[in-house]
Amino acid sequence: MLLSEFNTAPPEAATAALRPCLDIPRWIADILAARPFPSTEALLAAAATAADPFTSAEVDAALAHHPRIGERHAGTGAEARLSAQEQQSLGAASAETVDALAEGNRVYEEKFGQVFLIRAAGRTKPEILAALLERLENTPEQELPIIHEQLRQIALLRLEGAMSQ
């Protein structure tokens, strides 16, 4: 959806365009309330601060839609397509890296109670693994703002792509 279409779309259609980017109703409502946007940059700036800070419940709900890094999203909708596109850059990796990533995902989920989240676009599996291992050293208090920031970065990346179609 082009920005001009988004600006004038009925709320239901505009919501449908935003939901695959980040399915947090308060984030969507904040963006819709700020329409119309003079540019994609203005939309992205508004999205970067919408619903700030996210609540724990909002983050938990949003993370429920994210596959583990290195795994494909099980769905078939827009969010699944976006997730697959974002992880394309991960490409092939050694069996050791793939196994270490799977084990790191397991340990992360055990420690933090949720899926490891990182903006995968433009990163390789070894880079993701290094970030995962580094973040495993965090406490839950240290990790929470990182999760929020990664969630927002993914949403902005998806939103920018959505407005160019």
3-state secondary structure of 94: coil
- pLDDT at residue 165 in the model: 80
In this prediction, residues 22-39 reach a mean pLDDT of: 97
The confidence score (pLDDT) of residue 83 equals 54
| Confidence at residue 68, expressed as pLDDT on a 0 to 100 scale | 82
- pLDDT recorded at residue 135: 98
DSSP one-letter code for 89: G
Angle at which helix 140-162 crosses helix 78-87, to 10 degrees, equals: 110
Amino acid identity, position 123: R
* Multiple choice CATH, 3-162, 3.90.1330.10, 1.10.3330.10, 3.30.300.30, 1.10.10.10: 1.10.3330.10
pLDDT recorded at residue 76? 52
User: What is the Cα–Cα distance from 22 to 112, expressed in whole angstroms?
Assistant: 21
> Whole-angstrom Cα distance, residue 30 to residue 100?
39
Amino acid (1-letter code) at residue 122: G
Residue 92 has pLDDT above 90, yes or no: no
Q: Is the pLDDT of residue 77 over 90?
A: no
65: pLDDT confidence band, cut at 50, 70 and 90? confident
Task: Spell out the residues 6+ positions from residue 25 whose beta carbon is closer than 8 angstroms to its own.
Answer: none
